Structure 1
Amino acid sequence: MGDYSDGLLMLLITGIILFLIYRTFRSWVRKPFTLRSGIGFEMNEEILEHPAVNMLEQAGYEVLSDKLKVPLTFKVDDQVFHSRLFIDYIVVKNREFYIVRISRERLPIEWTGSGMRKDFLSFLLLYPDCAGVLYIDLEQETIREIVLTAGESEEDEIANE
């Protein structure tokens, strides 16, 4: 009887430890996505069916959050201005987080350096812990990964020639 109860006790302890590890991991994945500066938002865990979700899942991404509105407040002298950023999805792949933006017919992307700065720099600077921004073009059924890197400017390239 002693050997049987020892085995049962070990099994119970192992089960409790595995449960605690599972809960810790789950709470870590679901914790608020925050900036180093402390600005953050709560994940929207209700993920609605959408062609973009299917594209992301087929590409190996796990969708963690549906559409989010990130409020921003700017103070200029004594005036306060309010704005917001919209994020379509937060996804993860290989333990790297990505912000997802979906193409909009009325807001086309200009695929130049200045166009990408205008459309994506705010996300990449606000969320430096993200691996990048994924841009989904539903019409062409493509996913583009935008990553901010410290590269040489055009002036530096001309000076090096």
Structure 2
Amino acid sequence: MQVDGYLMVIITVLLLFLFYRGIQSWLRKPAVLRRGLRFELNEEIEEHPAVDLLKSAGYEVISGKLKVPLTFKVNRMELHSRLFIDYVAVQGEELFLVRLERPRQPVDWTGSGVRRELLPFLLLYPDCSGLLYIDADYSEIKVIVLDSDDE
């Protein structure tokens, strides 16, 4: 009988500890200030070496190039711009935005360089699992995932 009592105490303490850790983790997560923009997939997928590279790496390309129009209001004046997403790919249940390397716009592979060039994509679509940056000339896929420095 005493073994059952000890076992119940251990299980209760373990459940309380897991509940405490879950609440702490939830409280430390940054609040999403705004839901990400929604986009419609472009079923027209142009043939490109990057598509073959993605397929060979286990990704399924589900959308071709997307143009994301942006409007900023600065002192009541509207400024227009846009972002381009080259492809959208999935691997299992994970959705990734795909950006091709552009020789005229090289990415400085430092924290600030990645933030400057690629963060807007990850912030506009917080539901995506990350961004795939493809250098087709070198057959290289870089997986970029936004994470926090907080432990």
Structure 1 segments (4+ residues) deviating >2 Å: 36-39
Partners of 1:94 and 1:62 in 2: how far apart? 9
Question: In structure 2, what is the Cα distance between the partners aligned to 1:136 and 1:109?
Answer: 11
SS of residue paired to 1:45: coil
TM-score of the two chains, using structure 2 as the length reference: 0.74
- The question of 1:137 aligning with 2:135 is answered yes
More contact order relative to length (CA 8 Å, sep ≥ 6): 2
| 1:61-102 superposed Cα distances (whole Å, 9 cap, x missing partner) | 010100010000001121000000000000000111000000
2: distance between equivalents of 1:43 and 1:55? 20
User: Which residue is 1:99 aligned to?
Assistant: 97
Size of the alignment, in residue pairs?
117
Distance 1:108 1:121 in 2: 15
State the partner residue of 1:31.
Answer: none
Query: 1:33 maps to what in 2?
Result: none
* TM-score normalized with structure 1 length: 0.70
Distance across 2 between alignment mates of 1:112 and 1:55: 25
The offset of 1:39, in angstroms, is 2.5
Instruction: Tell me what 2:66 maps to.
Output: 68
Listed one character per residue, the Cα deviations across residues 106-157 of structure 1 (whole Å, up to 9, x for unaligned) are 11110001100011110111111000000001121100000010015xxxxx
Gaps of 5+ in 1: 1-35, 153-161
1:41-73 residue CA offsets vs partner (Å, 9 max, x unmatched)? 211001111100000000010101000100000
Equivalent in the alignment of 1:82? 80
Contact 2:37 2:125 in 1 (8 A): no
Contact 2:36/2:125 (<8 A) preserved: no
Q: Which amino acid aligns with 2:110?
A: T
Shift of 1:37: 2.6
Partner of 2:45: 47
Runs of 5+ consecutive residues of structure 2 not aligned to the other structure: 1-33
